[in-house]
Amino acid sequence: MLPVKSIGLLMPPRYFLLIVLLCFCCSAIATDNNIKEQVETLLTKMTLPEKIGQMVQINAFGGKIPDELKQRLREGRIGSMLNEVNPQTSLEIQRIAVEQSRLGIPLIMARDVIHGFRTIFPVPLGQAATWDAELVKQCARLAAKEATSAGFHLTFAPMMDIARDPRWGRIAEGFGEDPYLASVMAAAMVHGFQGDDLSAPNTIAACAKHFVGYGAGEGGRDYDTANIPQGLLRDVYLPPFKSAVQAGVATIMTSFNEINGVPSSGNPFILRQILRQEWGFQGFVVSDWASMEEMIEHGFCSDLKDVAYKSITAGVDMEMQSSAYADHIEELVKKGIVPQKLVDDAVRRILRIKFQLGLFEKPSPYSAKQSTKPSEAALKLAKTVALKSVVLLKNEDGLLPLSKEVKSIAVIGPMSDDPYEVLGTWNRDGKIEDTVTPLTAIKNLLGDTTEINFAAGLPYSRSRDKDGFAKAVEQAKKSDVVLIFAGEEAILSGEGHCRAFLDLPGAQNELITEIAETKKPVVLVILAGRPLTIGEISEKVKAVLYAWHPGTMCGPALTDLIFGLQSPSGKLPVTFPKAVGQIPIYYAHKNTGRPPHTRKLMMIDEIPVRAYQSAPGDAARYLDIGYLPLFPFGYGLSYTKFEYSNLQLSSHRIELGENIKVSVDLTNTGQMEAEEIVQLYVRDLVASLTRPVKELKGFQRIRLKPKEKKTVTFNLPSTELGFHNSDMKYVVEPGKFHLWVGGDSQSGLKSEFEVVKSKGKDR
């Protein structure tokens, strides 16, 4: 027999590639079959209490191993633990489980690795602002390497809840308001965490959360009720999760909220019908922290026994922290109330992930060690992601970038030299000694050539202590330009931290106002976990950079942008409201019968006194603030100018099932090399159910040198133009569509096309 290399020389390359792919597929099938056999063999040896033990996940005891925990481990009554950060304790817990239990089944050790482990990247909303899936993947890959070295196998990320209410604190943890962008980012993060093989070194199982509709809670309140029509659920809130499943995500987490009256942890419609039957998800489902037990407070379950019955019936495989399964499943099975098969299926799925992770061969906690300082490569990546996440919202008179030759700079604000707050929410394992603050980075860049006048003004973002104002104003007056670093502390966003008002907290607005009154040019840098209502205060400054919570390399990234070593290229992944009263506000809204953009509107101050009560000619908007956002989805400025021209479609009439090739010429007409995020939007003009005014269908990040032009091409499949109709079937209906290509959701070149039925087919 000829060697494979020789065979490749005797046949066309495409056939050789086919053989390689077939070999790979056969190997994968063999591996899957082997794991299936191992799972079934182990399952036959397990007692019912041992099976139930696999369905139990508990929190760690702060580096301790109580006698009660040791006994449960020996009896095989725990399948997973979370938050054990002491490596030696983690080693011992795993040793007891493997060496002292009857069957030696290792535990899955879990941790919330949300936007980095030791190296902290921008919060996920900031990562979404990069519109760069490859970078997001690289962040997750590095986080997985750092987390697995500390002994963890599972992370509770990515969070892909669509959020259209910035009052919700957890908007910081997701990818924004758009299902297309969130789907792309979710898949990228899953691939980054899990790699191509979960058993490979330094990969970690991902967990798509929170399933589902968690970001749609009433009033932007955490844990609150979500009422979501099924069509909206399927077209907006479910797509990111489907994308994660298609990317091979190992686990799914149920959400705290109820959907249309049924809490997620007891919802067979979403867990069994959609997730298992429709999507074919093979991993296991874990509840959120005590979310099963909380169904009693929801008024959906009478007691923990009822919780156990409804959760396992619905499709929850593993219970986090509460004890319904541990206390009641055995009794329910023995009485015939819960079929044994439901328990066996849940345990199969959990064991399957354990085998895929390679825990039976090499439980990684045996090599668990304390985290070390971030590597140079890690810091370089953190800086790159932070740099690309920053959005330039305003640059009046081209104030930015600043010259490094500037004689004096005032650095002011509570976020200017705080190494902790810039790391953002869900920073569990990052260290402030790794953080480079803006003040430090500015000093490092400028050295002794520039006078740097520093004054925090406020000790922290929520402070109303104005004792530091006088010094801040003094420093501003003796400087050529002022940099103000404002925002919200990390604790003001994230889980359970929702806000009714979205202005800068504390006395920051007053501080900025007093600094602006010095008439010095002011650059305002906002560091926050969510969109803030900064309209009024932004009018008082020359330039605004929105930096989210950018992580470990906050300072160097911002300094490079402020002084023009790079141009800002981030784009908003969420709409910025002018005021809280506009919420919910998002770009993909419906048009209504009275769209405001088609009517001449009278604002509140223009209405005559004692005007006759009438409504003709009015529209869907507010009298006192209008209908436009402060900044639209997809918005972001650059230090250069980009010109769009020559929008071309391969056809203006296609059949169902065909694709359209869309091209546009992009030219950098400015003087600086920079990147632009080119965005493609469409609108279905007439459908059996009304459609949004615009929907994102593609984007590309393009880098151009000054005066350089490039033709940017999109391939738009007609299958991407559909929606779920009144029968909840995904359909692409024939009809006319508008199409835009541009730099944000409110601009761009426009064209149109039509989709027609395929000849001889009735679809």
Residue 714 has phi, psi (to 5 degrees) of: -120, 145
Interval 70-77 mean pLDDT: 98
pTM above 0.85, yes or no: yes
- For residue range 173-190, what is the model confidence (pLDDT) as tens digits? 999 999 999 999 999 999
- 631 contacts: CB under 8 Å, gap ≥ 6: 393, 572, 575, 576
DSSP state of 318: B
The pLDDT value given to residue 759: 79
Residue 10 has phi, psi (to 5 degrees) of: -100, 0
d(CA 437, CA 420): 9
What percentage of the chain carries pLDDT values higher than 90?
Answer: 90
- Asked if 415 and 461 touch (Cβ cutoff 8 Å), the reply is yes
In degrees, rounded to 5, the angle at the alpha carbon of residue 329 between the alpha carbons of residues 327 and 330 is 90
Domains and CATH numbers, the chain: 376-562 (3.40.50.1700), 593-628 (no CATH), 642-756 (2.60.40.10)
Interval 508-517 mean pLDDT: 98
What are the CA-CA distances from residue 525 to residues 63, 129, 287, 744 (Å)? 40, 16, 38, 21
The pLDDT value given to residue 616: 64
Label residue 170 left, alpha or beta by phi (over 0 means left) and psi (-120 to 50 means alpha).
alpha
The pLDDT value given to residue 452: 98
Burial bucket for residue 334 (CB in 10 Å: 0-12, 13-18, 19+) = exposed
Interval 254-270 mean pLDDT: 98
* Positive or negative torsion for Cα 251, 255, 261, 265: positive
Residue 431 has pLDDT above 90, yes or no: yes
- Asked if 739 and 697 touch (Cβ cutoff 8 Å), the reply is no
Burial bucket for residue 240 (CB in 10 Å: 0-12, 13-18, 19+) = buried
Q: Which residues are catalytic?
A: 288
- For residue range 276-296, what is the model confidence (pLDDT) as tens digits? 999 999 999 999 999 999 999
- Asked if 60 and 321 touch (Cβ cutoff 8 Å), the reply is no
- For residue range 552-600, what is the model confidence (pLDDT) as tens digits? 999 999 999 999 999 999 999 999 999 999 999 999 999 999 999 888 8
Interval 38-49 mean pLDDT: 98
Interval 471-489 mean pLDDT: 98
DSSP state of 337: S
The pLDDT value given to residue 303: 98
Residue 242 has phi, psi (to 5 degrees) of: -65, -40
Interval 211-230 mean pLDDT: 98
Predicted confidence band at 363 (pLDDT cuts at 50, 70, 90)? low
The pLDDT value given to residue 3: 34
The pLDDT value given to residue 366: 55
d(CA 24, CA 15): 14
Alpha carbon of residue 717 to chain centroid: 25
What are the CA-CA distances from residue 16 to residues 8, 11, 138, 594 (Å)? 5, 7, 31, 61
Predicted confidence band at 20 (pLDDT cuts at 50, 70, 90)? very low
The pLDDT value given to residue 28: 55
d(CA 96, CA 104): 9
Enter the tokens of residue 338: 């819960």
The pLDDT value given to residue 17: 41
Residue 201 has pLDDT above 60, yes or no: yes
Mean pLDDT score across all residues of the chain: 94
Residue 762 has pLDDT above 90, yes or no: no
d(CA 265, CA 77): 22
d(CA 746, CA 631): 9
- Asked if 502 and 532 touch (Cβ cutoff 8 Å), the reply is yes
Dihedral in degrees, nearest 10, Cα atoms 511, 515, 516, 521:
-130
The pLDDT value given to residue 10: 40
β-bridge partners, 704: 674
- For residue range 109-132, what is the model confidence (pLDDT) as tens digits? 999 999 999 999 999 999 999 999
Interval 320-349 mean pLDDT: 98
d(CA 380, CA 385): 9
d(CA 404, CA 442): 10
- 99 contacts: CB under 8 Å, gap ≥ 6: none
Residue with tokens 């986090």: 320
Residue 22 has pLDDT above 80, yes or no: no
The pLDDT value given to residue 30: 56
d(CA 634, CA 678): 9
- For residue range 131-151, what is the model confidence (pLDDT) as tens digits? 999 999 999 999 999 999 999
Residues counted in the chain? 763
One-letter identity of residue 531:
P
The pLDDT value given to residue 11: 42
> For the ranges 167-181, 189-203, 611-625, which has the lowest average pLDDT?
611-625
Predicted confidence band at 612 (pLDDT cuts at 50, 70, 90)? confident
Residue 6 has pLDDT above 50, yes or no: no
d(CA 31, CA 165): 44
Peptide bond into 584 cis (omega under 30): yes
d(CA 421, CA 528): 9
d(CA 584, CA 629): 11
